[in-house]
């Protein structure tokens, strides 16, 4: 049975169910598999014609032991997770004439219109599946820069086994994203608006990390996390890389490039894992906005955080990319001691300088760019005007702009897939800016669910960031108490 270790090496290996339900490892590390399953080229060839659900079944079967989830159960969990997607292919991949061989992989056809739906539905369905078997319940605690919260809230809505708490920094997400959390009519979903977060979602992550470090509280509230520290999220996020690859290559074996708008490095880690498993990827472009922690580490080997800047691609306004620890774990040759030391240095001094060997390893097969708001907006405008009115959301635009900036690094024959991580309807302010619009939005910048939410009553708790830990304990304890009455 494939087991999961902590990147810090301080806990005994656990099975898939435990890794999913715990979220964080008890030593504060992140779960990683003890061995990476390899996919032979012949297998890739066999998989190349599969539909999304069947491909996901094959890939996840390499990580999840049948004694934990049987084949029939896995098929049903996957079906229930992807049947809510609007597009028959789940993830359509469309050519974009801006460069020969450039494609956009649309990851936003799920229920909350962002790529977070790709893995969240399956993760929450797994949590529910495990808890129903144990006749147990959890409180899921989620911090969001705008898209994880809606995806978690939507996936959890109405589930008897789950209370879902979604925390978001006031004024730092779009109104549309906020409404996706506050208008859900589900008594088990609790939206929490947090006032005064100078570091945006990172401030919320800090509170969550502290709550998870309190073993007593964790037990009392049956705390668990579905942020992308949860192993299940990054594992499911491998699937769209395989699927996208098969849609664009002429022959299986051809090496391609993926460009990924990146914040916490969860999506990109999924790609990296896919490559470790055998997917022929030449280069990953790590596309940052002005919050360029990842671009700095790829270009200089310095892993340091700086103050948060608010940008038009707000979902990637992140200065601590916590999934990067998973990457560093593998890049350092699975060295638990280094990870423990670096995590502690990062916490104490706000950064670490990687040793030359790891810094060299980190760059292998990765390149990066930092794209400012002006470049993001002008990319959205150019694509709309010159390529048939195609609308990129600001995050997809960061990925496309990064390819433009780095295009001399790839051969003109190399196929490039840019990941479109959100539907443009979630970001009307940026769309208006790009298209210089005062009047109505084009149809492609609207979505029926976003329009419907405009008329609904909003419900949320509102706390100051300085009081958050205390206020949240209190609220969560009273909800948990009411459940047992």
Ligand X SMILES: Cc1ncc(COP(=O)(O)O)c(C=O)c1O
Which residues make beta-bridge pairs with 414? none
CB closer to ligand X, 14 vs 91: 91
How many residues are listed for the chain in this entry? 485
Active site residue 116: yes
Contact in structure between 273 and 228 (CB atoms under 8 Å): no
Contact in structure between 258 and 31 (CB atoms under 8 Å): no
Contact in structure between 43 and 24 (CB atoms under 8 Å): no
The only residue of 137, 145, 182, 293 in contact with ligand X, by rule CB under 6 A:
145
CB closer to ligand X, 111 vs 263: 263
3-state secondary structure of 43: helix
> In the complex, what is the shortest distance from the CB of residue 383 to ligand X, in angstroms, rounded to a whole number?
17
Residue with tokens 């037990």: 219
Q: Applying CB under 6 A, which part among 47-55, 139-147, 339-347, 441-449 lies near ligand X?
A: 139-147
Show Cβ contacts of residue 50 under 8 Å, excluding neighbours closer than 6 positions. 58, 246
Catalytic residue among 8, 43, 116, 405: 116
- Under the binding rule (CB under 6 A), the answer on residue 180 touching ligand X is no
Looking at residues 23 to 42 of the shown chain, list those that interact with ligand X (rule: CB under 6 A): none
CB closer to ligand X, 268 vs 406: 268
Count of C-beta atoms within a 10 Å radius of residue 86: 14
Please report which residue ranges of 157-238 form alpha helices under DSSP H. Answer: 175-182, 201-213, 215-220, 231-236
> In the complex, what is the shortest distance from the CB of residue 116 to ligand X, in angstroms, rounded to a whole number?
6
CB closer to ligand X, 74 vs 155: 155
CB closer to ligand X, 315 vs 416: 315
CB closer to ligand X, 154 vs 395: 395
- Under the binding rule (CB under 6 A), the answer on residue 316 touching ligand X is yes
CB closer to ligand X, 267 vs 367: 267
Looking at residues 275 to 294 of the shown chain, list those that interact with ligand X (rule: CB under 6 A): none
- Rounded distance between C-alpha atoms, residue 457 and residue 14, angstroms: 43
End-to-end CA distance of the chain: 40
The only residue of 33, 200, 266, 271 in contact with ligand X, by rule CB under 6 A:
266
Q: Distance from CA of residue 465 to its chain's centroid?
A: 24
Residue with tokens 């930092």: 370
> In the complex, what is the shortest distance from the CB of residue 41 to ligand X, in angstroms, rounded to a whole number?
28
- Under the binding rule (CB under 6 A), the answer on residue 240 touching ligand X is no
> In the complex, what is the shortest distance from the CB of residue 228 to ligand X, in angstroms, rounded to a whole number?
5
> In the complex, what is the shortest distance from the CB of residue 132 to ligand X, in angstroms, rounded to a whole number?
29
- Under the binding rule (CB under 6 A), the answer on residue 421 touching ligand X is yes
> In the complex, what is the shortest distance from the CB of residue 90 to ligand X, in angstroms, rounded to a whole number?
17
Binding residues for ligand X, total number by CB under 6 A? 19
Instruction: Give me 238's structure tokens.
Output: 């491998």
Which residues make beta-bridge pairs with 303? 352
Please report which residue ranges of 322-372 form alpha helices under DSSP H. Answer: 324-331, 336-349, 356-363
* Residue 443, burial from CB neighbour count under 10 angstroms (0-12, 13-18, 19+): exposed
- Rounded distance between C-alpha atoms, residue 396 and residue 378, angstroms: 13
Give how far Cα 467 sits from Cα of 194, 219, 225, Å.
Answer: 9, 22, 21
CB closer to ligand X, 164 vs 392: 392
- Under the binding rule (CB under 6 A), the answer on residue 263 touching ligand X is yes
Antiparallel, parallel or unpaired: β 102-106 and 93-95? antiparallel
- Under the binding rule (CB under 6 A), the answer on residue 267 touching ligand X is yes
Q: What is the CA radius of gyration of the chain?
A: 21
Instruction: Give me 96's structure tokens.
Output: 């974009």
- Under the binding rule (CB under 6 A), the answer on residue 208 touching ligand X is no
Among candidates 462, 177, 449, which has minimal Cα distance to 313? 177
Looking at residues 352 to 411 of the shown chain, list those that interact with ligand X (rule: CB under 6 A): 395
Looking at residues 64 to 123 of the shown chain, list those that interact with ligand X (rule: CB under 6 A): 114, 116
CB closer to ligand X, 192 vs 392: 392
> In the complex, what is the shortest distance from the CB of residue 240 to ligand X, in angstroms, rounded to a whole number?
12
> In the complex, what is the shortest distance from the CB of residue 421 to ligand X, in angstroms, rounded to a whole number?
3
The only residue of 228, 238, 311, 367 in contact with ligand X, by rule CB under 6 A:
228
Among candidates 289, 228, 226, 279, which has minimal Cα distance to 417? 279
Instruction: Give me 422's structure tokens.
Output: 């959100």
Residue with tokens 């609207």: 446
- Rounded distance between C-alpha atoms, residue 39 and residue 310, angstroms: 41
> In the complex, what is the shortest distance from the CB of residue 480 to ligand X, in angstroms, rounded to a whole number?
28
Catalytic residues: 116
Q: Which residues bind ligand X (CB under 6 A)?
A: 114, 116, 145-147, 228, 261-268, 315-316, 395, 421-422
């Amino acid at each position: 049975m494939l087991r999961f270790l902590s990147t810090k090496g301080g806990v005994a290996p656990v099975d898939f169910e435990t890794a999913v339900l715990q979220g964080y490892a008890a030593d504060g590390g992140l779960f990683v598999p003890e061995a990476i399953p390899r996919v032979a080229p012949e297998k890739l060839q066999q998989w190349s014609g599969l539909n999304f659900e069947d491909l996901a079944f094959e890939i996840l079967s390499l990580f999840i032991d049948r004694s934990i989830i049987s084949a029939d159960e896995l098929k049903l969990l996957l079906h229930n997770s992807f049947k809510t997607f609007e597009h028959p292919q789940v993830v359509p991949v469309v050519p974009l004439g801006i460069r020969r061989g450039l494609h956009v992989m649309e990851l936003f056809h799920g229920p909350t219109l962002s790529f977070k739906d790709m893995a969240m539905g399956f993760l929450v369905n797994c949590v529910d599946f495990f808890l129903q078997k144990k006749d147990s319940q959890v409180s899921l605690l989620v911090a969001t820069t705008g898209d994880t919260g809606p995806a978690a809230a939507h996936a959890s809505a109405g589930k008897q086994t789950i209370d879902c708490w979604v925390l978001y920094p006031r004024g730092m997400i779009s109104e549309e994203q906020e409404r996706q959390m506050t208008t859900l009519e589900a008594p088990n979903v609790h939206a929490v608006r947090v006032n005064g977060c100078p570091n945006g979602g990172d401030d919320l992550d800090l509170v969550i990390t502290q709550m998870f470090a309190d073993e007593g509280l964790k037990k009392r509230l049956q705390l668990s996390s579905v942020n992308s520290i949860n192993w299940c999220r990054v594992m499911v996020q491998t699937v769209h890389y395989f699927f996208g690859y098969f849609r664009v290559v002429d022959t299986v074996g051809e090496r391609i490039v993926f460009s990924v708008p990146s914040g916490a490095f969860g999506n990109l880690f999924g790609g990296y894992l896919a490559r470790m498993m055998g997917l022929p990827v030449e280069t990953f472009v790590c596309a940052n906005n002005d919050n360029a922690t990842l671009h700095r580490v790829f270009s200089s080997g310095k892993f340091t955080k700086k103050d948060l800047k608010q940008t038009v691609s707000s979902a990637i306004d992140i200065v601590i990319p916590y999934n990067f620890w998973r990457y560093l774990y593998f890049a350092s040759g699975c060295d638990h001691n280094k990870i423990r030391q670096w995590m502690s240095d990062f916490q104490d001094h706000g950064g670490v300088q990687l040793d030359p060997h790891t810094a060299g390893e980190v760059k292998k097969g990765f390149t990066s760019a930092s794209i400012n708001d002006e470049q993001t907006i002008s990319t959205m405008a150019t694509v709309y005007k010159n390529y048939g009115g195609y609308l990129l959301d600001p995050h997809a635009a960061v990925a496309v702009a990064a390819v433009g900036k780095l295009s001399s690094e790839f051969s003109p024959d190399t196929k490039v897939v840019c990941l479109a991580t959100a539907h443009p309807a979630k970001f009307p302010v940026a769309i208006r800016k790009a298209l210089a619009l005062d009047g109505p939005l084009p149809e492609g910048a609207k979505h029926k669910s976003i329009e419907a939410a405009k008329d609904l009553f909003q419900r949320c708790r509102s706390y100051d960031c300085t009081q958050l830990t205390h206020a949240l304990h209190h609220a969560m304890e009273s909800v948990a108490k009411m459940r047992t009455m």
